[in-house]
Chains A and B, each alone.
Chain A
Amino acid sequence: MRQLKSVTAPIFVAVCTCLTLWAAANPTDQKDKSAQAQNGTDLRKKYVRPTDPALYVGEETCKTCHEDMYKQFETTPHVATTMEAKLNGYKGPEWHGCEACHGPGKEHVDGGGDKTKIFTFKDASPAETSARCLGCHQYTEEHANYERSAHLMNGVGCIDCHSPHHAKESEFLLKAKAPELCYGCHGDVRAQFARPFHHRVPEGLLTCNDCHSPHGTFRPKQLRTNAAGDTVCYKCHFEKQGPYVYQHEALVEGCTICHSPHGSTNQRLLVQNQVNLLCLSCHSVPAEVGPPATPTFHKQNTTKYQSCTLCHMAIHGSNTSVVFFTP
């Protein structure tokens, strides 16, 4: 109960703050005269690309003033937007080059480089900047859930991780290489990887992306799945999946019922230090439909019975032994 009270107070404060901010941001006579509004969008609406070719000037015109920026742009995969042949599904100048992201440039050029006449990402909301990217990148399984992802819902947009013009990592135009990029917000996970028993992310064998999709998935914590839709752990640890004749039914709750996947001070990434205390957590008084209690000859003052997995070795499941003595 005390834990419940300890979280309801900050939640209540957050709700009040939210409502106050929302009221303050929505005066009844708000007028928005930004360039975005004049181009048919406002700051909070999805981006609808104007299709009038007369509004566009082409990337060669942009290059005359932004030559350095354009030369850097040419080294990135986005240069493909300047190639007509590539744009099979994206015909029209609104999908080409600089203006595919920054919007029509004629007013900006006619205004002598008026910055208010062109879309600048740094002043826009995460949702609107991401809408520009998703116009091309949305139609794959990888990015299909980004609008519902924990990242975008919490204000983390595409350009918080990616930088089309100033990327430090050229493969995916990231602002920093993973996992350092992820550590910028997820410092608690960095600390877990620094423990003696951990998944080999700091060593470079794995990346955060192997288990989580930063663009969101249908599963909690943006977790991926294996090919069959089962838990992502089985993508690498396929030998643990089964099916087994004799199941260790606790695995229905997932691998994290016993293991701490990022890192742990406990061996085998267990959530508890001693295996017998972990096993006894369930193998005590049976739950409604639960595991058996330990037999009375399993005296915990003898070494043999303190080490449960000495005998119950096939603990993830067995095809030959109902008590998991053999695999």
Chain B
Amino acid sequence: MKNIRRILRESTLRERFFRPLFLFLLTPVFLFAPTAFAQQTDEQKGIDQGNYNIKQSIEFGGRLTSVTGNEQTYDTMVNLQQGPRLLNFTTEMRSLDHRGTFFDRLYFSNFGYGGDPNVVSALRISKNTWYMFDALFRHDENFWDYSLLANPFNQVGPVANAPANYNPIANAPPNVLNTQIVATSPHTYNSRRNMQNYGLTILPDSKVRLRLGYSHNTIYGPAFETLHQGTEQFLLQNLSATMNQYRLGVDFRFLPRTNISYDQTWSYYKTDPGTTDENLQFSVGGGFPPVDLGVTWSPQPCSPTFNPGSIVNPACSAYYSYFSHRQSRLRAPTEQVSMQSTFFPTLQLSGKYSYTGSDFNVYNYQQAFPGLESRSFLSNFLQTGPMQGRHTASYADFGATWQITSDFSLVDSFHYGNWQEPAQFTASECSFFSNSLIIPPNFFTSTAALPLSTCTPPANAVSGTPNHKSGSAPDILVNLDSNFLKQSITSNLIEGQIQISPQAGAYFGYRYVHRVIADNFYNTQNAIYFPSNAARGNCALVAGVLPDGCTQNADGSISFVTPSPSFGPPGVTDINSNTAVLGLWAKPTQKVFLNFDAEVGTANKTFTHLSPQDFQQVRARLRYQAASSVNLSLYFTTTNGQNNGVSINGSGHNASAGMSFSFAPSEKISAQLGYNYNNISSSLLICFVSDLAQPGLQPCPGVTGLVQQQSPYSSAVSTGFIDVLWSPIPRLSVEVGGNLSSASGSELQLNPLSTIATIPTGPLNSTWYQPYGSIGFRFAKHWTGRARWDYYSYHENLNNSYQDFYAPRSFHSNLITLSVRFAF
């Protein structure tokens, strides 16, 4: 197996010189570059060539990166690597007579090419009265390896008879402090997302306007995941998902001051993920292939995990291989009609209605693994079956503004939404059983009617009676799950808007929201239980008698068919909420702007414990221009929620206050600084089980075996920023600044009786510093050299948890970027 980090990084190395379609557009754009400089050399004005004014700038260079500390965390949070870069390339062209041959305006900008995690190209090109074309390409590399959650890779205490210098992950990178501690998250991934959007508007100012659009979004890349089946297998999935969307729209402007539009969108989603087990490294001896013991080593996979000679205990849960594949397809056509009108002088109307009826299918689904699940003796498993689903959604929106008097208007916004998602999975499962990794399963030749006509035994299976436990699944099962979920929502917001004066205004209003959420479930099974221990599962004897649906067969097997399958009673949640809204704004002078708004609401119930039943929000802002070069901004927001259900006792609070100040006394110097304080807290009752919980906790009402405790969470984050730009002479510019963020908080410790902290607090108590500085010198006409320094520092306050001690996630890094900019 390849090194885990190399698997994640391989694609990145190939893509370091990634050349998307847009990059080729650079070539013809370069052809527009002037062969000689025109009379105007001012960068802001550009140069006139032919019938066009052209402004262009290009900055290219390279970055040097040095990281100290946890590189995985750096790659997760920053991921700026070293190498050459196209830092920026921008071209603007404008026709001088507004009658260009092919276009009148062109804007083209790019940054990040050469290996940065974020790459963007944007193009807008238009010709007056004829067309407008927009194109946007975005590439995002999202590397994730942040090992915070109690990392199950790391065992507590030594593992007897384990192989020397073993590692739960085959060929993992060197561990921290040369120990056996694994600092890699079990769910590491390196996904890339490419998002392309194109839009063309034809005859934009005519009475009939045509709009065409296309989007192509993909996500791909390796991702590690885990599967719980006895143990937690360590699997590698190659993400691959694509969404293509085609749009056609027509606008009709035949009525005065009215636009009516029709839009048709076709969305196609496709994903073909494949998953395999790449962690097969432990020997079971006897010529058998190596197995994956899973990621959980705290506690150990089984006891003992290894026999003398570092041979895996054959009674352990472990897997020889894993394979899963499917083809998922979604087709979602959407029809939309919309209108905007001020046909009536005092009435402004807008409305929209859309309908989507999408179909979802999964083809060629297969999941298979040989190995051993010790709890049930499952030795070989194959699951196949189709999945179908549907997503239908209707949304209707209507808005009206009625100017009743010269200074009072009535505003109404109505929304109706209804979506429904029925879906079903018909699973066909073939299971074979053995009590050991090194004993082949037996296959039973039944004379009874089987739910499936084909259930091929594995190649090494031996004819005989399978070895079952009471918890073993059916030998052959066809299971149909059909589920349904829907939500309908109706809301209306009516507001009165008062124009107090040209410098002040206010509004007040009322919002009513009604939601109905409903679900339903249907299940039916057709199964057969082979001997031994055929009376198990759905056919376990009750008072010595087979339950309904079970039939004893002559060969000793028991068949099961769900008796009288039907939908269960639906679950319905009916929520009504009422909210009062209020706002006030004032601009007493040109230099001052004040704004205040508030909402207070309540609902009769909530759908989740986290949703507030009563809620309040207040926001206030002040902007003050003390002088032409001095601006001050102050703001305060607070959001509170309460959910006072007896078994919830929930509350939430989020308050944020801050200021920003900018000062630009001359062209030579400007400064910005700001500060924000954000206090977040929440609390509600939770139920859980732990051997190390606080003594004396009340039992959880209605749930045997759990205790109940109030779970508070708090986080206070202070954020500051500063930026100073200084040009002592016209050729020279110096910039220094930084973003500084500090978090402190606390949360419930579920295991206070533990002698060491079981869970690191991680980012809850951390600092995040990003100072920077740069110097630029215009060494020739149009040419500027730049040197920039960036520093990233992330530090967590450790709490001596096992994870913190061996795998701290802190890092700091220095980045130097040297570049040359050419601009006119």
Contact = CB atoms under 8 A, between A and B. Distances in A.
Contact of A285 (B350, B703, B794): B703
A301 B138 contact: no
Interface string A85-101: 11111000000000000
Contacts of B736: none
Prevailing SS type, chain B contact patch? strand
Interface stretch (A50-58, A60-68, A111-119, A139-147): A139-147
B387 interface: yes
A265 B425 contact: no
Given A170-B92, A293-B687, A123 B502 contact: yes
B510 interface: no
A250 to B, nearest CB: 5
B128 A83 contact: yes
Contact of B590 (A122, A183, A320): A122
Nearest to B424: A245
Contacts of A143: 340
Nearest to A258: B610
Interface in B137-152: 138, 140, 146, 148-152
B107 interface: yes
B522 to A, nearest CB: 11
A190 B674 contact: yes
B95 to A, nearest CB: 10
B241 A273 contact: no
Given A80-B128, A139-B340, A303 B423 contact: no
Contacts of B391: 228, 241-243
A139 B593 CA distance: 29
Contact of B299 (A88, A145, A302): A302
B9 interface: no
B303 interface: no
Contacts of B692: 301
A238 B483 contact: no
A274 B424 CA distance: 33
A265 B743 contact: yes
Contacts of B15: none
Given A185-B633, A293-B700, A7 B676 contact: no
A277 B684 CA distance: 10
B481 A310 contact: no
Interface stretch (B359-367, B436-444, B470-478): B359-367
B708 A284 contact: yes
B261 A141 contact: yes
Contacts of B572: 289
B759 A227 contact: no
Interface string A260-286: 000001110001111111001110111
Interface residues of A, number: 137
Contacts of B582: 11, 14-15
A126 to B, nearest CB: 8
Nearest to B105: A77
B485 A304 contact: no
Prevailing SS type, chain A contact patch? loop
A228 B394 CA distance: 9
B16 interface: no
Contact of A293 (B187, B485, B703): B703
Interface in B443-483: 481, 483
Nearest to A284: B687
Contacts of A59: none
Given A139-B340, A281-B684, A45 B403 contact: yes
B264 to A, nearest CB: 10
Given A191-B719, A238-B269, A277-B686, A245 B389 contact: yes
Interface string B511-540: 000000101000000000000000000000
A80 B328 CA distance: 48
Contact of A307 (B152, B481, B503): B152
A294 B610 CA distance: 17
B692 to A, nearest CB: 4
A325 interface: yes
B131 to A, nearest CB: 12
A284 to B, nearest CB: 4
B564 interface: no
Contacts of B415: 218-219
Given A273-B763, A300-B750, A320-B365, A285 B227 contact: no
A5 B799 CA distance: 38
Contact of B298 (A86, A148, A243, A302): A302
B748 interface: yes
B53 A75 contact: yes
Given A190-B674, A243-B390, A294 B706 contact: yes
B527 to A, nearest CB: 16
A178 B246 CA distance: 28
Interface stretch (B161-169, B311-319, B601-609, B775-783): B601-609
A69 interface: no
A296 B340 CA distance: 57
A174 interface: no
A265 B94 contact: no
B338 interface: yes
| Most chain A beta-carbon neighbours within 10 Å: one of B367, B393, B504 | B504
Interface in B327-381: 328, 332, 334, 336, 338, 340, 342, 345-346, 348, 350, 352, 354, 356, 358, 360, 362, 365, 367
B401 A148 contact: yes
A89 B256 CA distance: 9
A320 B228 CA distance: 13
Contact of A144 (B350, B640, B684): B350
A73 B298 CA distance: 70
Nearest to A155: B585
A128 B502 contact: yes
B656 interface: yes
Contacts of A239: 219, 241, 269, 271
Interface in B739-796: 739, 741, 743, 745, 747-748, 750-751, 754, 758-759, 761-764, 766, 768, 770, 794
Contacts of A282: 608-610
Given A75-B94, A282-B609, A299-B691, A194 B721 contact: yes
Contacts of A110: none
Contact of B505 (A127, A195, A327): A127
B813 interface: no
A153 B721 CA distance: 30
| Most chain A beta-carbon neighbours within 10 Å: one of B219, B296, B691 | B296
Interface stretch (B31-39, B62-70, B174-182, B493-501): B493-501
Interface stretch (B276-284, B541-549, B709-717): B709-717
A196 B259 contact: no
A205 B120 contact: yes
B205 A86 contact: yes
A298 B688 CA distance: 8
B354 A229 contact: yes
Nearest to A184: B633
B501 A25 contact: yes
21 contacts: A21-B504, A22-B506, A125-B502, A147-B411, A155-B505, A187-B674, A188-B656, A191-B658, A200-B140, A205-B120, A228-B391, A236-B193, A277-B686, A280-B687, A281-B610, A284-B700, A296-B705, A298-B688, A302-B298, A310-B296, A313-B187
Report, nearest first, the 5 A-B pairs whose CB atoms are least far apart: A155-B585, A191-B676, A289-B571, A296-B705, A218-B397
Interface of A: 3-4, 7-8, 10-11, 14-15, 17-18, 21-22, 25-26, 42-46, 48, 75, 77, 79-80, 83, 85-89, 122-128, 138-141, 143-145, 147-148, 150, 153-156, 170-171, 183-188, 190-192, 194-197, 200, 203-206, 218-219, 225, 227-230, 236, 238-239, 241-247, 249-250, 252-253, 257, 265-267, 271-277, 280-282, 284-291, 293-294, 296-304, 306-307, 309-311, 313, 319-320, 322, 325-327
Given A14-B584, A154-B597, A191-B719, 13 more contacts: A22-B506, A153-B411, A170-B92, A191-B676, A227-B267, A228-B332, A228-B356, A250-B607, A287-B606, A300-B689, A306-B150, A306-B758, A313-B225
